[in-house]
Structure 1
Amino acid sequence: MQLAEIIRKKSAQYLDEVIAIRRHIHMHPELSFREHETSAFVKKRLEEYGLDCKTVAGTGLLATITGKAGRSSKCIALRAELDALPVTEKNDLPWRSLVPGVMHACGHDVHASCLIGAARIIKELEDEFTGTVHLLFQPGEETLPGGAKKLLEEKVFGNNQPSVVIAQHVLPELGAGETGIRPGVYMASGDEIYITVSGKGGHGATPDKTVDTVAAMSHVVVALQQVSSRFAPPHIPTVLSFGKFIANGATNVIPGEVIIEGTFRTMDEEWRAEAHEIINRIAVNIATSLGASCSVEIRKGYPVLYNDPGMTSLMGSYMKEYLGSRKVKDLQIRMTTEDFAWFAREYPAVFYRLGTGMPDRLLHSPEFDIDEQIMLEGTGLPAWLALSFLLQ
């Protein structure tokens, strides 16, 4: 029996168990860097399958499988995340979240469960390959600076450095059992923007005796739209959005302080740095011209996610062998962010998508869900990619 067929058979054999694992993790979500119970549950499962685990970055796990068919320095890493989001689930399912205000709304429960299943398959086939597979269960993907950065700072892989790091992530826009891939720049960098405008507050009926912080901040918000429409190079995708505007005055009270919070996304690191300076300059100058003072804080988030073209092409060819060409789609760039980008700065990396089969259940929404049958591909495909790479 050929390797692909063996993996497909094992994936089908373990599907019900992988789904049960997913449901358990889904029912007990934990926020970033607090994934203590999730980590303990994953570790117990992996140890049941004969894997040794070590704790990394506080609540993460690293398991390593070395092939027994001979000696080889080849090494590949597979990564999944453990953390959930501060979202209240609205799905009425037996396995809905039991934690108020916390939900696996980004599919990390799916990613972790599929990687557990893939680990089991790879472990059972360790006599068939040479080389090493790292299985990395990462904490804190959803919170800056990101668990990936902490893992790299800890030198998580030690002396056994991978030639490529792979990550699988669900995507509602793709059909059930489909995968998506894109070489080169795929996802944006993301930075958090915090701007405070201050001035003398007072009675709304005597604005001449105050500094109108609301009007000043309104001008700042409008002026900052020029960053993406006039300052950004036309060939570089750029988004600057503000989702929070706090002016705690009243119908007849001009507040002494107004705060806005937003996000800046782009696909070019050089322009990203330049844009930060422009945002600061526009905000300060506009506010000052209207008699107010202004402070700008920009918290740098995840970098641009870059898929190594050569490795992406190679993994794409493996995907087509396993799934068939029609199920492997070309992806468009996305302005969302992903801390896997930190790995992509250090290693050749491939971040690919797995369709959920539920296009109306969007990521980060309280209704997010998947067709659990996709976990058949979600379990088998990572195992196939890892072993295909080591056996090539």
Structure 2
Amino acid sequence: MKNKWLVTAVSLIFCSAGLSADEVSTAVSRDYEQHLQALFVHFHQNPELSLVENKTAARLAQELSAVGFTVTENVGVDIDGLPSTGIVAVMKNGEGPTVMMRADMDGLPVEEKSGLSYASTATQISPITGNQVPVMHACGHDVHVTSLIGTARYMAANKDKWSGTLMLIGQPAEERIMGAKQMMDAKLWDTFGKPDYALAFHVTSNGELGYVNVLNGSPYAGSDSLDLVIHGIGAHGASPHAGKDPIVLGSQIVLALQTLVSRELSPRQPGVVTVGSFHSGTKHNIISDKAVLQLTVRNTNLETREILLNGIQRIAENLARAAGLPEDKLPEISIVESTPPTVNNDELVNRLRQTWQQQMGEERVVSVPPTGMGAEDFPYFTNGYDIPAVYWSVGGTPTEEWQSAMEGKTTIPSHHSPFFKVSPDSVKVGTESTIHALLELLKKP
């Protein structure tokens, strides 16, 4: 499948004969040189953590207001005493549907080691720990915000080409899987009107620059973050028979959880159960009375989610019973963060795929399935509201680097890595693909 991302270098040059003839591509390239490239560098050098994207949101609001959008700031309920940084920008342009386009704004607590000349050196007080931490756009949200601004600038300057209502959303806290829900808890659609379509995209280092990747089905998994507290009975390490060791019980639970995907899901049904953290004890010769496991559970449909979550509870409780623990000391499970799977609307996917093929070149539009089970909170905007949605991706790795990796000469840093980087030119592809989607959905009657 990866070979589908490879074409000749000529077809990827934005100023080539085929692409320069396209008015949208030409306009986006011009705006990129004059405004968007410097704006991308600004966002990359000034990342902010989830829930405290204050300067990012303010700059986004400023840019959208400047081209004529009606902008509302601080949209969303407060979390832990922090006001939401959510942005909603609306431009009404005659009769027609309402289309929502979302961009997430937050960075990650990662020290950048990309070697880029414009690498982030920013630090910020973490709203989780209260400590000063390094911050980096290690997932490409700087591309998303800049592309949203590029889209707004084009649509505002070309109102004669579309009709309807365009709603642009700057979303906080995607990395913590809470920003979309934070905005929806503030009755987003009651306030601004429910859109007829919802769109979003993600730049990816696992794709070659110049390409649009759109899938039928589920491009992103659902995710649950679980805390599993295992109770034991403390004792001296030299007298294990006098207690109930939560570390031994926890180890048994970790191993048994691996059978959920391998033995309870269909071999063709994806799922993930990962124990990312296991903490217990304070000293060599003390048997603790508690162990805490932190899990991430991934699915692509709600039926799989139910199987996995029920299985985790069943395994944990019954292994505790087998260890001789009483009913009042059975493990406690709590869901800390949760998001449903992202599922694209097939009819809308087919419509936009055809649009991108016609407008950007058939060879630049691919359908490469994901290799992992990354999650998104975008579905909170659409689930239960009967809103057709499409979430696509654009490649971010320059052709030479991509081909070198395909030949096994180099590796491409993953998202959330301190070495993560994508080409600033991916802003153009993100902007261009978004504009074409909007012009298709907001056609003049």
State yes or no: 1:297 paired with 2:362. Answer: no
Q: Offset of 1:330 from its aligned partner?
A: 0.6
State TM-score, norm by structure 1. Answer: 0.93
CA contact (8 A) 1:199 1:210 kept: yes
Decide which of 242, 255, 275 is 1:222's aligned counterpart: 255
Moved more, 108-117 or 358-367: 358-367
Q: Distance in 1 between matches of 2:275 and 2:174?
A: 22
Q: Distance in 2 between matches of 1:4 and 1:33?
A: 42
SS in 1 for 2:69: coil
Q: Distance in 2 between matches of 1:138 and 1:375?
A: 18
Q: For residue 320 of structure 1, what is the amino acid of its counterpart?
A: Q
Q: Offset of 1:241 from its aligned partner?
A: 0.6
Decide which of 146, 150, 155 is 1:113's aligned counterpart: 146
Gapped regions of structure 1 (runs ≥ 5)? none
Decide which of 168, 174, 177 is 1:135's aligned counterpart: 168
State TM-score, norm by structure 2. Answer: 0.82
CA contact (8 A) 2:203 2:426 kept: no
Decide which of 43, 68, 89 is 2:61's aligned counterpart: 43
Q: Offset of 1:311 from its aligned partner?
A: 0.4
RMSD: 2.0
Runs of 4+ in 1 over 4 A off after TM superposition: none
Decide which of 178, 182, 197 is 1:150's aligned counterpart: 182
SS in 1 for 2:392: strand
In the alignment, which residue of structure 2 is the partner of 1:257? 290
In the alignment, which residue of structure 2 is the partner of 1:387? 439
State yes or no: 1:81 paired with 2:81. Answer: no
CA offsets per residue over residues 341-386 of structure 1, 9 Å max, x none? 2224231000000101156131111111111122222222211210
Q: Offset of 1:300 from its aligned partner?
A: 5.2
In the TM superposition, what are the counterparts of 1:1-392 in structure 2 within 5 Å? 5-16=22-33, 17-55=35-73, 56-57=75-76, 58-67=84-93, 71-97=94-120, 98-99=122-123, 100-144=133-177, 146-157=178-189, 158=191, 160-292=193-325, 293=329, 294-299=331-336, 301-333=338-370, 334-345=372-383, 346=385, 347-357=387-397, 360-391=412-443
Q: Distance in 2 between matches of 1:268 and 1:388?
A: 29
CA contact (8 A) 1:199 1:291 kept: no
Moved more, 119-128 or 291-300: 291-300
CA contact (8 A) 1:191 1:300 kept: yes
SS in 2 for 1:172: strand
Q: Distance in 2 between matches of 1:233 and 1:53?
A: 47
SS in 1 for 2:390: strand
CA contact (8 A) 1:276 1:298 kept: no
Moved more, 207-216 or 312-321: 207-216
Q: Distance in 1 between matches of 2:313 and 2:43?
A: 42
Moved more, 149-158 or 320-329: 149-158
Q: Distance in 2 between matches of 1:185 and 1:128?
A: 32
Alpha carbons of structure 1 residues 125 and 167: separation in structure 2 relative to 1, 3 Å? same
- The number of equivalent residue pairs is 387
CA contact (8 A) 1:106 1:364 kept: yes
Q: Distance in 1 between matches of 2:304 and 2:116?
A: 45
Q: For residue 306 of structure 1, what is the amino acid of its counterpart?
A: V
SS in 2 for 1:286: helix
Q: Distance in 1 between matches of 2:118 and 2:59?
A: 16
CA contact (8 A) 2:224 2:338 kept: yes
Alpha carbons of structure 1 residues 159 and 209: separation in structure 2 relative to 1, 3 Å? closer
